[in-house]
């Protein structure tokens, strides 16, 4: 699609929205973050103005924002990547491939920190907010929490039927919430792996979990089409929001803790985009309801409190600012 077409599309989308509208953000030129090779996926750091792009030439490219300057390129070889995470502090980047090999590099130097061999391809690969821990799990297997610098094992969580499909650390990295294959949301001590609380009210597998900024509550969502607020200490449901038309597949709380991005899954065809709704954490009022024009390759909050969504573009990545 040409830049002119994208601009026209942006104009149509912007015009169609009555609420505060997303806009193409301009880190460099017309919202295009220029990258040396076509981008397959992109992740933003949370506390540093950096992002990492996985490109089709089998490289992880660490980029500075907003100028898009390439800081480091890491060659990951001829591997079929199924999982990617960039630590929120921007210090480490991890990939997991179909063979179950997980590799972790230092983002600044490109030095390989460690590798871990899983029994199957990874279902979980998530850094803690401080970048000190990495949660990994082969599909269907228990989650292991590792020291993200050395790979040393810290704790192993329980072994739910069907494994873990969603995982989030609290901001202080003391707690881990999991959405498990047996449809249970569990809260664990991240240092010991001990299960502290559980919520068994879901009928379907929880696909998204997130902590509130203070770590006191867990937000969880599944094919049940509810976002449920769970007391992290007891596991009890404290609030269940109105049923939605589609399942929520991702939840992301803003750095200031005041807003939450709920990303919906088009359940009849997961290859197509569905709505992204930005809500107030306090009132649950919608602040923005946006249907992306195509399937985004990335989305997330940046260090300065912007909510960005990225799409592939001919010259690199096009960024939209939603908040």
Partner 1 sequence: MQQPLSRRDVLWKCAALGALTLAPGVSMADVFAWSENQKPAPLPPTPWNEIGPFYKRAAPNVPDLRAAGDKGLPLSVTGRVFDTRGEAIEGAKIEIWQADDAGLYDLDGYKYRASLTADKKGAYGFGSIMPGHYPARVCQHIHYLVTAPGCKALTTQLYFATDPAFEGDPARNFTKDPLIQSVELVRPVKMVKSAAGNRADVTFELVLERL
Tokens, residue 226: 């509810």
Among 31, 66, 223, 316, binds partner 1 (CB under 8 A): 223
**Residue 161 touching partner 1 (CB under 8 A):** yes
Do 264 and 248 contact (CB within 8 A), yes or no?
A: yes
* Contact status: 163 vs partner 1 (CB under 8 A): yes
Q: Are 64 and 72 in contact (CB under 8 A)?
A: no
Q: Which is nearer to partner 1, 10 or 248 (CB)?
A: 248
Residue 78 CB: number of other CB atoms within 10 A? Answer: 7
Q: Prior bond to 66 cis, omega within 30?
A: yes
13-42 residues near partner 1, rule: CB under 8 A: none
Kindly tell me which of 166 and 313 has the beta carbon lying closer to partner 1: 166
Cβ neighbours for 270, distance < 8 A, ≥ 6 positions apart:
none
Residue in 52, 74, 190, 207 binding partner 1, rule: CB under 8 A: 207
Q: What is the DSSP letter of 7?
A: H
Q: How many CA atoms lie within 13 A of 119 on its CB side?
A: 9
Among 247, 255, 296, 316, which residue sits at the site for partner 1 (rule: CB under 8 A)? 247
Nearest approach, Cβ of 245 to partner 1 (angstroms)?
10
The answer to whether 271 contacts partner 1 (rule: CB under 8 A) is: yes
Nearest residue (CB) to partner 1, 30 versus 181: 181
The correct pick among 30, 142, 158, 162 for binding partner 1 (CB under 8 A) is 162
- Tell me which of 268, 282, 283, 285 binds partner 1, using CB under 8 A: 268
Binding mask 128-157 for partner 1 (x = CB under 8 A): -----------xx-----------------
What distance in Å separates the CA atoms of residue 184 and residue 193, rounded to the nearest whole number?
Answer: 16
Among 304, 319, 323, residue whose Cα is nearest residue 261 = 323
Neighbours of 26 (CB within 10 A): 12
Minimum distance from CB of 209 to partner 1 (Å)?
14
In angstroms, the CA 247 to CA 242 distance is 12
Candidate segments 101-109, 175-183, 251-259, 310-318, binder of partner 1 by CB under 8 A: 175-183
Torsion angle, alpha carbons of 40, 299, 157, 170, to 10: 150
Nearer to partner 1, 140 or 151 (CB): 140
Q: Which stretch binds partner 1 (CB under 8 A): 69-77, 255-263, 267-275, 312-320?
A: 267-275
In Å, how far are 40, 202, 313 from 7, measured between CA atoms? 22, 42, 12
Rule CB under 8 A: which residues touch partner 1? 80, 98, 120, 123, 139-140, 161-163, 165, 181-183, 203-205, 207, 223-225, 247, 249, 265, 267-272
């Amino acid at each position: 699609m040409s830049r002119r077409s994208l601009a026209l599309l942006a104009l149509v989308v912007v015009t169609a929205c009555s609420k505060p509208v997303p806009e193409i953000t301009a880190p460099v030129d017309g919202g295009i973050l220029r990258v040396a090779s076509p981008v397959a996926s992109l992740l933003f750091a949370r506390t540093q103005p950096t992002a990492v792009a996985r490109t089709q030439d089998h490289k992880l490219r660490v980029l500075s924002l907003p100028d898009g300057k390439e800081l480091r390129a890491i060659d990951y070889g001829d591997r079929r990547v199924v999982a990617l995470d960039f630590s929120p502090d921007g210090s480490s980047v991890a990939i997991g491939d179909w063979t179950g090999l997980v590799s972790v590099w230092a983002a600044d130097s490109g030095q390989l920190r460690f590798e871990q061999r899983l029994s199957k391809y990874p279902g979980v690969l998530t850094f803690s907010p401080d970048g000190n821990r990495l949660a990994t799990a082969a599909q269907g297997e228990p989650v292991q929490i590792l020291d993200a610098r050395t790979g040393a094992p810290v704790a192993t969580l329980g072994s739910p039927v069907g494994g873990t499909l969603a995982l989030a650390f609290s901001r202080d990295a003391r707690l881990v919430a999991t959405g498990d294959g047996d449809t249970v949301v569990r809260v664990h001590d991240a240092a010991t792996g001990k299960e502290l609380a559980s919520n068994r009210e879901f009928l379907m597998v929880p696909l998204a979990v997130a902590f509130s900024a203070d770590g006191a509550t867990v937000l969880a969502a599944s094919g049940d089409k509810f976002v449920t607020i769970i007391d992290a200490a007891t596991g009890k449901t404290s609030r269940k929001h109105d049923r939605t038309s589609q399942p929520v597949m991702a939840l992301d709380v803003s750095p200031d803790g005041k807003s939450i991005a709920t990303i919906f899954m088009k359940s009849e065809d997961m290859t197509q985009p569905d709505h992204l709704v930005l809500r107030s954490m306090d009132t649950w009022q919608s602040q923005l309801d946006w249907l992306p024009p195509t399937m985004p390759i990335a989305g997330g909050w940046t260090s300065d409190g912007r909510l960005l969504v990225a799409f592939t573009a001919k010259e690199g990545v096009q960024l939209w600012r939603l908040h």
